[in-house]
Structure formats: structure tokens, C-alpha cells
Amino acid sequence: MSNKRAPGFTFYVKDWLGDDEVMAMDLDAQGLHLRYMCIAWQQQPPCTLPNDDSKLRKWAGNPDEENWLRIKGQVFSAWEEDNGRWVQNGLLRQFKKQSENSEKRKKAAEKRWEGHSKSNANVSANAMHKECLASSSSYSYEDEEDARPGGAASSRLPDWRIRLNKQFVETAMARRQSGKPWKNAPEVRTWVIKTYHEITKDFISEDEIEEIVKYLKEET
């Protein structure tokens, strides 16, 4: 499993409010629990914290001894100690799911574009636009989940990719006409991240960003 991760995790409000351990915490403990989850998301190994009171207490804002013992006991009732690290299992499950979906998307992207020759690098935006529209007309919208990254496998381009390609073509053409074409990969990368999130309401992996940016730059 790759240690690459999305810049954030999904916060499920119903799960949070329906968690007996969380609801049993004082409000300050609930806040610290969420703060620790954010810190753990960035840690190595992912979704863990060091079992080190000096660090944990500092991250908690250095509460006095009485409050620290109270808060710590409540917060870590929702964590599990393993080999000197506190593990948040719910967060870890989400990390693993995101990693698996990212790997699936990467493999699907590699399969879609394998054999893509650089001789096609100068294909016109108009031709690409027509291809997107043709693919879109034959795509089934019956299952929304399958149209999102991580959904069921399909031999056709997923809806989110069709829309991303189409919007890229339209945006690229508009920028050219306005005399402000994209000049470098970072500009394209920023656009991909923003547009991907608008389309899917999800975060995009670094591997997928690199794959899409490479393809889009070749195609335009």
C-alpha cells in the first residue's frame, strides 16, 4: 500500500454524531480528538500518533495536569495502542480505501492511455472535443457511483473523465482565443485539481494528477 495520501479525509457527520465513544467525550475532548485525527493523517505511519505524552500534550495546547489526564483518557478511548503508536482505526480504514481507489484509478489510466503515441500530440482540440461528445452520448448515467473514481470498472471513459476532458478543451480554446494560453504545467495542474473536485466532490491523487496533466499537455 502506498503512503501517498489525499490532502484530506472525508468527515462523515452522521458517523461522528452517532459514535458513542465520541458523544461520551467532553466538548474539549471531542475537539482535540478531531485535531489529533488531522495530525495523524499527516504522520508516518499514516493515521497514527506517537505514544509520547510530551508531544501529545503540546499538540493539545499544554493543558494543566488535571485537564490533560481527563482529556487524554476520553480521547484515546477511541484509539488503539500498537507498538508505541496510537492508531485511529476508522481513519486508517478510510486511508486504505483511498489508497486502493487511487491505485485502481492509476491502473485504469495507464490502461486507457497505453499505446498512446506521441505522434498524436498535435491532435486538434476540435477533434478531441468531438471524441468527448461522442463518448458522452453513449455513456450510461444509471449508476452515479460507477461514474466516480473508484466505482465499478468500465471499458468506457467514466463520466468524470469525459467531463474533465471536455471542460479542458473548452477552457484551453477560450484561453487561446483570449491570448492567454497555459504556459506551464503548474497552471494546468491547478486547473485539474480545481475542476476534478468540482466534478466529483472528491480529492484527486498525486498519481492521477500527473497522469492527467501529462495527457492534457500532449493533447494540446
Q: What is the C-alpha separation between 190 and 212, in angstroms, rounded?
A: 12
Owning domain of residue 31: 13-93
Categorise residue 26: left if φ over 0, alpha if ψ from -120 to 50, beta otherwise. Answer: beta
Residue 130 and residue 206 in one domain: yes
Residue 8 lies in a domain: no
How far apart CA 112 and CA 30 sit, in angstroms, is 45
pLDDT tens profile 175-211: 777 777 766 667 777 877 888 777 777 777 777 777 7
Q: Is the peptide bond before 149 cis (omega within 30 degrees of 0)?
A: no
Each residue of 30-49: pLDDT tens digit?
Answer: 999 999 999 999 999 999 99
Is residue 3 assigned to a domain?
no
Within a domain: residue 101? no
Region 112-119: mean pLDDT is 53
The mean per-residue pLDDT over the stretch 10-21 comes to 89
Q: 21 with 67, same domain?
A: yes
Distance of CA 178 to CAs 110, 181, 219, Å?
33, 8, 19
Q: Domain check: are 80 and 126 in the same one? A: no
- Give 145's pLDDT tier (boundaries 50, 70, 90): very low
Of 97, 76, 106, residue with least CA distance to 12: 97
Regarding whether 119 and 87 lie in a shared domain, the answer is: no
Listed residue (67, 76, 62) closest to 28, CA to CA:
67
Give yes or no: residues 57 and 120 share one domain: no
From the list 63, 69, 34, the residue with the least C-alpha distance to 49 is 34
Q: Can you tell me the distance from the alpha carbon of 47 to that of 101, in angstroms, rounded to the nearest whole number? A: 17
Q: Residue 99 domain-assigned?
A: no
CA terminus-to-terminus distance, the chain? 34
Structurally, how many domains does the chain consist of?
2
Cis peptide before 45 (omega within 30 of 0): yes
Please enumerate in sequence order all residues whose Cβ is within 8 A of that of 123, keeping only pairs 6 or more positions apart, or say none.
219
Find the helix or strand (DSSP H, E) in which 41 lies.
Answer: helix 27-41
More confidently predicted of 220 and 216: 216
- Pair (160, 79) in one structural domain: no
Q: What is the pTM of this model?
A: 0.51
Distance CA 92, CA 72 (A): 20
Residue 44 forms part of a structural domain: yes
Q: At CA 205, angle to CA 202 and CA 211, rounded to 5? A: 120
- Is there a single domain that holds both residue 137 and residue 52? no
Domain contains 103: no
Q: What is the grid cell recorded at 177?
A: 482565443
Residue range 75-102: mean pLDDT, rounded: 91
